[in-house]
Amino acid sequence: MDKPIGVIDSGLGGLSLTKVLVKTLPKESIVYIADSKNCPYGGKTEEEIYRLTRRMVKYLLKRKIKLLIVACNTITVTSINDLREEFKDIPIVGMVPVIKTAAQKTRNGKIGVYSTVVTSKSKYQKDLINKFASGIDVINIGSSALVSLIEKGKDKEIESVLREELNIFKENNIGTLALGCSHFPLIKRQIAKILPEVLILDSSGAVSRQVKRILEANGMLPTSKDSVYNFITTGNKDFFEKFVKKTLGKKLTNKAKIERISLQ
Ligand code: DGL
């Protein structure tokens, strides 16, 4: 059997990427881990984020993946260099918010970037803004509440947090909004309701295309036609299973294996 692509996230966010990845690379097998037990990662120290991330990567390496996608902006901005240093044998692709596209597509020279607090304050994200959006007004804000609410499926609370936090983008009349947290595409519809005039962009397409290019360039595309999907959580299995099915649809999840594990 072909080796699968490994996808990690602190929780459910990477499922938004996985949905697009499956469309871009339908023959690939995927094994996904959500560390929902320890989510959100945003409030943790960089050392703790790395320790938890490492456990997921080691587990996936035992399962022999061919490429790792870090489908979490918070892990990417804090840990991607160390991960590439420690796990040299496989290509590692991180999440990068589409600030360049947001800057290119804005109609009025104003863009918003919406991520977690850790990501919004990171040097990684600030460097991207300086590189790709110089001369443009950038409103870069981090949310400390949303990830936990998305993990718990608290739709009403999500809406009231969005009404409050998105106000600054409204007041500043931004033209485009780059989502810098992989959980946020999962609530894109609620965001669009509050910012109807704004073009909302996420990185799922860009990251999926990047993965395809890497696999092609290294002769690593699958040889068999049968893709196998495995979704793993460290948290509540019932909730996870429902969420996976709702997000990815029955056609894909009917043949998927969904399980709970504990990592040490
Ligand atoms: N999906 C993660 C991200 O993209 C959420 C981070 C967290 O767990 O705080 O940033």
Structural domain for 116, as ranges: 99-202
Query: pLDDT band for position 2 (50/70/90)?
Result: confident
Average pLDDT over residues 131-143: 95
Instruction: Please indicate whether residue 242 or residue 255 has the higher confidence score (pLDDT).
Output: 242
pLDDT at site 207: 98
Q: Are residues 105 and 86 in the same domain?
A: no
- pLDDT tens digits, one per residue of 84-103: 999 999 999 999 889 999 99
For ligand 1, the distance from its centroid to the CA atom of residue 18, given in whole angstroms, is 15
To the nearest whole number, what is the mean pLDDT of the chain?
95
Q: How many domains does the chain have?
A: 2
User: What's the rounded Cα separation, in Å, for the pair 158 and 151?
Assistant: 11
Of 156, 175, 202, the domain-final residue: 202
Q: What is the pTM of this model?
A: 0.96
pLDDT at site 191: 98
Q: Strand pairing of 229-233 and 257-260? A: parallel
Of 202, 237, 252, the domain-final residue: 202
Instruction: Please indicate whether residue 125 or residue 43 has the higher confidence score (pLDDT).
Output: 125
What six digits make up the tokens of 107? 């109609």
DSSP secondary structure letters along 126-139: HHHHHHH-TTSEEE
Ligand 1: residue of 116, 124, 143 to mutate (most ligand atoms within 8 A of CB) is 116
For ligand 1, the distance from its centroid to the CA atom of residue 10, given in whole angstroms, is 6
Q: Are residues 187 and 216 in the same domain?
A: no
User: What's the rounded Cα separation, in Å, for the pair 83 and 248?
Assistant: 28
- pLDDT tens digits, one per residue of 13-55: 999 999 999 999 999 999 999 999 999 999 899 999 999 999 9
Average pLDDT over residues 191-195: 97
For ligand 1, the distance from its centroid to the CA atom of residue 210, given in whole angstroms, is 20
Q: Contact, 135 vs 221, CB < 8 A?
A: no
Question: Which residues lie with the beta carbon below 6 Å from any ligand 1 atom?
Answer: 9-11, 13, 39-42, 72-74, 116, 119, 147, 181-183
Ligand 1: residue of 7, 9, 56 to mutate (most ligand atoms within 8 A of CB) is 9
